[in-house]
Structure 1
Amino acid sequence: MSEHHAVPAAHDGAAGDGHATMSIEAAGDEDLEAITRIYNQSVVAGGASADLHEQTREERQAWLSSHEPREHYPVVVIRMGGEVVAFASLSRFHPRAGYDHDAELSYYVDRGKRGCGLGRALVTWGIEAARARGFTKIIGVIFADNAASVALMKRFSFIRYGVLPEGSRDSQGVLHDVSYWYRALEASV
């Protein structure tokens, strides 16, 4: 199943008319540097990742390779002006086979492009991609104080089904409550 969508960006962060085109495309090895850079922005800043140290290219390669089969567990990037500015993935929610009907959505946006609608585009992509692959639920696992991601979950009618108090520490040593969200998916028509 090919991933490629061209959609108008709400704002591209540059001067002009604000109607830059972004494309959502399947991620490849050539995107690893950008994926690693964007992910590490969240690790270093704290508040959005449970990784305590910046990830190496090799660690991100292992993460990318873990999405197998790729047709079922895709990883995509958003390109604007040829530059990777965000990425997302559908992953196994749990290694036990009884959970195989659920997919976990993760997404990260370059700090210079936040607030431009890229998170909305990636959540929209995730819902559509999960539905097309026959998943019955899409799940988000986020720090409960991550206001932007909480707002996205609410905007897309995800239901918070649990909170693990002080469930994770970030790279800054801050303990965060971890919130669990899901959205039931109707069958693809």
Structure 2
Amino acid sequence: MPPSPITIRTASVSDAPALLSIYAPYVERTAITFEYTVPTLEDFRSRISRTLARYPYLVAECSGIAMGYAYASAFHPRAAYDWSAEVSIYVSEDARGTGIGTRLYGALEDILKQQNIINVNACIAYPNPGSISFHEKLGYRTVGHFTKCGYKLGKWWDMIWMEKILGDHPDVPGRLIPYPELGNGCIPS
């Protein structure tokens, strides 16, 4: 991977074909996602659009080619959980180990802090030493382990939750600021 600089920007529905091509191998050949069927292009566009109504959805590019993406979603839909988010990341097979994932998560976490989100959680199929090591390197720690809760590719998989605290838990937290309200320029360079 590239001598060219990596650009991180907000994804749009027009990125769906490129991002779906990154995601499809994870669905088809791994238990990293528990989906069995690759989503349709229209479904993927809808996922991006729904996410962006409240949370960041970022894409990392090199020379105009999408190399990975990361996004946040509600940890739980009830209002008391507004200060927690689930994070997800997918990097193209040929861009793993290049630092793109670290850059994506760094930008994502910076935006989540601006939104007043304090706890970030990652749901990870287990075993998955690469993802666990990646998250540990970024300061996540395992906070939950569920046994044989997913079945894919002819075997049972455990699932773990890893968590990172982005800041202090104030007595009265600021309101969750939806991503669109942050305006342009919220992605750190």
Q: TM-score under structure 1 normalisation?
A: 0.83
Name the SS for the 1:66 alignment partner. helix
- Say what the alpha-carbon RMSD is for the aligned residues: 1.4
Shift of 1:144: 2.1
Amino acid at match of 1:61: R
Name the SS for the 1:177 alignment partner. strand
CA distance in 2 between counterparts of 1:163 and 1:73 reads 26
* Structure 2 partner of 1:80: 62
Q: 1:183 aligns with which of 164, 167, 171?
A: 164
Q: 1:134 aligns with which of 93, 113, 116?
A: 116
Q: Deviations over 1:28-70 (max 9, x none)?
A: 121000111111111111121010111110121221122152x
* Structure 2 partner of 1:6: none
Q: TM-score under structure 2 normalisation?
A: 0.83
CA distance in 1 between counterparts of 2:140 and 2:18 reads 29
Name the SS for the 2:51 alignment partner. coil
Amino acid at match of 2:12: G
* Structure 1 partner of 2:22: 38
1:100 aligns with 2:82: yes
CA distance in 1 between counterparts of 2:25 and 2:108 reads 22
Distance 1:68 1:116, change over 3 A: closer
* Structure 2 partner of 1:55: 39
Q: 1:174 aligns with which of 155, 164, 169?
A: 155
Query: Identity of aligned pairs, percent?
Result: 24
CA distance in 1 between counterparts of 2:100 and 2:23 reads 15
* Structure 1 partner of 2:50: 66
Amino acid at match of 2:84: D
Q: 2:145 aligns with which of 163, 167, 171?
A: 163
CA distance in 2 between counterparts of 1:168 and 1:117 reads 29
CA distance in 1 between counterparts of 2:65 and 2:73 reads 24
Shift of 1:128: 1.3
CA distance in 1 between counterparts of 2:106 and 2:32 reads 20
Runs of 4+ in 1 over 3 A off after TM superposition: none
* Structure 2 runs not aligned, ≥5 long: 169-189
* Structure 1 partner of 2:187: none
Q: 1:120 aligns with which of 102, 115, 134?
A: 102
* Structure 1 runs not aligned, ≥5 long: 1-10, 13-18
CA distance in 2 between counterparts of 1:173 and 1:60 reads 26
CA distance in 2 between counterparts of 1:63 and 1:45 reads 21
